[in-house]
Chain A
Amino acid sequence: QKEVEQNSGPLSVPEGAIASLNCTYSDRGSQSFFWYRQYSGKSPELIMFIYSNGDKEDGRFTAQLNKASQYVSLLIRDSQPSDSATYLCAVPFRGYQKVTFGIGTKLQVIP
C-alpha cells in the first residue's frame, strides 16, 4: 500500500508568518509530487508541482523536495487569512495514473 502521511492539524499561524506544511511518502520510486489547496466546501485545486530535489518557488509558495528522506514540504511566506484552507499532499504511484492523497493539513491563519 502506497502511503502519504500528513499531520491533520490544525496548524495555526499568525498573519504574516511562515507556514510550514510537511508530507512524507513511502514509495521510494515516486518521481513527482503535488500540493493541492482545498477551501471548506470546495474541491481541491493544484497550487504546486515539484519533481526535482530542492526548492521550487511560485510567489509566496515554496515546495521543497528531499527524495533521500522521502519528504516534501510546502512553505507559505507572509501568510494571509485567505490562505486558511486544507492543504493536500498528493503522490502519483510510480508508473501509474493513480494518485495517493494525504489526509490533508488544516491551516488557520490568525489575523
Chain B
Amino acid sequence: DVKVTQSSRYLVKRTGEKVFLECVQDMDHENMFWYRQDPGLGLRLIYFSYDVKMKEKGDIPEGYSVSREKKERFSLILESASTNQTSMYLCASSDKRGGQWYEQYFGPGTRLTVT
C-alpha cells in the first residue's frame, strides 16, 4: 500500500514565523503535491513537483515555497506565516500508470493554526 506521511497532524505557529511542513511518500512516485483545504473553497493546489528539484506553481503559490531534494520528500515552506494561512494542508503523491495519470494518494493532513 502507498503510504504518504506528514510531519505533524496539528501545528500552532505565530505570525511572522517560518514554518516547514514535511511530506514523505514510500512508493517512488514521480509527482508530489501540496494543497490547502478550506471550508467553502475546497482543495486548492499550492505547488507540485514532477521530479527531484523540479517544481511548478499551482493556483495559490503566494506566500509559499517548496523544496524537493529527494524523490520521496516534498517540503512546503511558509516564509513568514500569516493568519490567513491558517488551514488544513494536504500532501499527495501520484504516478503515471498505463499511459494515464493515475490517482493521487493523500497524507493525513496538517492542521496549521497561525496566531
Instruction: Decide if the interface of chain B is mainly helix, strand, loop or mixed.
Output: strand
Asked whether A25 is an interface residue with its Cβ less than 8 Å from the other chain, the reply is no
Q: Check if A98 sits within 8 Å of B45, measured CB to CB.
A: yes
Residues of B within 8 A of A32 (CB): 100-101
Measured in the bound complex, the distance between the Cα atoms of B94 and A46 in whole Å is 12
> Which chain A residues numbered 28 to 43 have a C-beta less than 8 Å away from chain B?
31-32, 34, 42-43
Distance between B92 CB and nearest chain A CB, rounded to angstroms: 8
Task: Flag if B41 contacts A103 (CB, 8 Å).
Answer: yes
Confirm or deny: A8 has a beta carbon within 8 angstroms of a beta carbon on chain B.
Answer: yes
Task: Tell me which of B42, B100, B108 contacts A88 (CB under 8 A).
Answer: B42
The chain A residue with its CB closest to the CB of B48 is A98
Let me know if A43 and B45 touch, CB within 8 A. Answer: no
Q: Given the known A-B contacts A88-B43, A97-B31, A102-B42, are A43 and B90 also in contact in the complex, defined by CB atoms under 8 Å?
A: yes
Q: Which chain B residue has the least Cβ–Cβ distance from A95? A: B101
Cα(A26)–Cα(B109), bound, Å: 29
Inter-chain contact B103/A49, CB cutoff 8 Å? yes
Q: What is the CB-to-nearest-CB distance from A59 to chain B, in angstroms, rounded to a whole number?
A: 17
| Interface size, B (range) | 20 to 34
Determine if A43 and B106 form an interchain contact, defined as CB atoms under 8 angstroms apart.
yes
- Could you say which residues of chain A place their CB within 8 Å of the CB of B94? 97
Interface residues of A in 44-100 (CB under 8 A from B): 44-46, 49, 51, 88, 90, 92, 96-99
* Ranked 10 nearest A-B pairs via Cβ: A43-B106, A103-B42, A101-B43, A46-B103, A92-B101, A97-B31, A43-B109, A44-B106, A43-B108, A97-B101
A to B CB contacts below 8 Å, 24 in the list? A8-B40, A32-B100, A44-B90, A46-B103, A46-B104, A49-B102, A49-B103, A51-B100, A88-B42, A88-B43, A90-B104, A96-B101, A97-B31, A97-B94, A98-B33, A98-B48, A98-B58, A99-B45, A99-B101, A99-B104, A101-B43, A102-B42, A103-B40, A104-B42
